[in-house]
Structure 1
């Protein structure tokens, strides 16, 4: 089966094989391995030793994102959220349910957030202490640039949290150049090409310590994760987690290094997305984004009129291609991931399977 969702992604057999081991996370041999893994993730984020730390949390991207909001945004404080996709909607909900005040910056899910819009919103809302933004919006496929938006946030004297869940490991991130960023959060199972299980924040240690005690949750308090590392060492865990997945992540990071790092991985993903975009357009399908806005992680297309979406997904899976079984855009769409242990041959296979499936359903526009 070819897995082409925005995550979890297709993984290399060596990554999956690394989990075939029973591990005691409290064992002395585990500690140097875990310490090294945290340092490697910090370095990918452009973090600085002694300034930034990797703060792991077992679970999904939603959990680490909520932990970052709870940790760095004070209860009752205001957070600005640019609303150009479903995952921004989720940031807003997480913040509200954590007792933070949300100011929404309206935006279309077909265009990246502009620095001018953010500057105007921050000027209009001096009470907003933070901006929280999605870097790669997998509802549609657009990319927001944290460096460009961060410069505006920094100039305004505010703080920033970036959801890089579907971006980290490919799209650029340089924490050393962005002192306004409290944390970038991500998971192991997207552009890092590993399996689900752990999520991570790479965060400023000074800010994390300043914010101790305001999360309102022991499990989701990143300041407590840092305090545990200070007390017991960087190779220690607070609670038992799916540690076999960390072995898989180690192999995935080795593969990232062998590929040439995030820049080279991004080149492959961009080529994958371009091949999908061109191939599906050639079938007569209508892209959700114009080519200038199309990101490298997921390609989204309008559904043909009257198409049975779930029937399409099921029939495509029967042909060996598994895509997202839901969509989050207002218009009916379908989306195909361009990330994971895949290349141009897999993109061509996906386009051919989509063409066969739509033709069998009588919904192939080029055949009309």
Structure 2
């Protein structure tokens, strides 16, 4: 049912919401010799990356896709730099740290930000977006999977509101693209980005983006050039489409990313979604008797790739995580208001497999004096071979 070639278990087990363990095919690609960024072989590779990104994102056939030479935060910033001008009304949905980061970036580029918020652990309400959306709004921006709280926001429903409003629709797909359904063309998304080190298990350092024709038209109509030269869409298109020099791209990261993305597409996005769901549910069921409970109350609002679990009463969060780290197991706690309240367990790419979580359960058995955690986890995983 699943790809039967799990990543080898290295000395350190990463169960964080990013980065994720590097896929073996990406690791192998990293070892190849250096080529110049203007080499014909690199341009051919880039063309394959662009085609594969269109498949991953579910874009129109000729949609512009590319890799930015930076992490997902550069993908976020590039969208506002290129598509927002001073004085533009931008509606930002913020129900966690990364939605708030969107709002801050938009303001730095001169936008007049309208915030739509939701309490931590809750999804953005579509009716709240509808109440703030009017013909003056130039862009609506939302985080699909809010990494800081493990919430999945209703992007398809928000997209339906935005269609026909004249506003561009920007979606942060950092913890969803490549693991959860993402349908850029069908939903009407104009700009999206992720990070290579998230669902695709490639090394950090490149941010895959996709830009609609509508967004390029908005870019072309700018009154002034984008303030961020490095990620100027025109310069990027010159390099990726016209094969002319813009800046030196990290060639070896391109080869590694290409290998990781191909591995994901070879496995099948549906198969990846299924193993995330099954491994995540097994973790929840195994830890429930200890008092761990889902932080996000409504099941439909839970982000499968970042499992947010409320800690049991009296649980020594910092102490247990430090003890796990001494055993070469990394688990991430909460951010800001949720520090000491939740764990955020990554289920992206190569971390969404039984082997690393089996190692976690064995360690927790010893640290917490709880018997049979590993055996219980294996029982819940019956039939999963990944």
The answer to whether the superposition gives a TM-score over 0.5 is yes
* Residues 328 and 298 of structure 1, relative CA distance in 2, 3 Å threshold: farther
CA distance in 2 between counterparts of 1:152 and 1:210 reads 20
In structure 1, the partner of 2:173 is 164
In structure 2, the partner of 1:140 is 149
In structure 2, the partner of 1:44 is 56
* Residues 189 and 279 of structure 1, relative CA distance in 2, 3 Å threshold: same
In structure 2, the partner of 1:54 is 65
Of 109, 113, 120, the match for 2:124: 113
CA distance in 2 between counterparts of 1:357 and 1:80 reads 46
CA distance in 2 between counterparts of 1:206 and 1:327 reads 35
- 1:300 match: secondary structure: strand
* Residues 185 and 133 of structure 1, relative CA distance in 2, 3 Å threshold: same
CA distance in 1 between counterparts of 2:215 and 2:110 reads 20
2:254 aligned with 1:243: no
In structure 2, the partner of 1:346 is 356
- 1:6 match: secondary structure: coil
In structure 1, the partner of 2:277 is 270
CA distance in 2 between counterparts of 1:89 and 1:278 reads 32
In structure 1, the partner of 2:289 is 282
Cα RMSD after superposing both structures? 2.2
* Residues 25 and 107 of structure 1, relative CA distance in 2, 3 Å threshold: same
Q: 1:117: Cα distance to partner?
A: 1.7
Of 25, 42, 47, the match for 2:37: 25
CA distance in 2 between counterparts of 1:283 and 1:93 reads 39
- 1:188 match: secondary structure: coil
* Residues 74 and 182 of structure 1, relative CA distance in 2, 3 Å threshold: farther
Q: 1:291: Cα distance to partner?
A: 5.7
CA distance in 2 between counterparts of 1:207 and 1:84 reads 25
Any idea what the Cα deviations from partners look like across 1:315-349, whole Å, max 9, x if unmatched? 11222321226634446322111122141243233
Q: 1:268: Cα distance to partner?
A: 0.9
* Residues 254 and 55 of structure 1, relative CA distance in 2, 3 Å threshold: closer
8 Å CA contact retained: 1:71, 1:208: no
Q: What aligned pairs does 1:315-330 form with structure 2 within 5 A after superposition?
A: 315-324=323-332, 327-330=335-338
List gaps (5 residues or longer) in structure 2. Answer: 1-11, 371-386
- 1:130 match: secondary structure: strand
CA distance in 2 between counterparts of 1:142 and 1:74 reads 30
Between Structure 1 and Structure 2, how many residues are aligned? Answer: 352
CA distance in 2 between counterparts of 1:321 and 1:291 reads 29
In structure 2, the partner of 1:253 is 261
Q: TM-score, normalised on structure 1? A: 0.88
8 Å CA contact retained: 2:148, 2:334: no
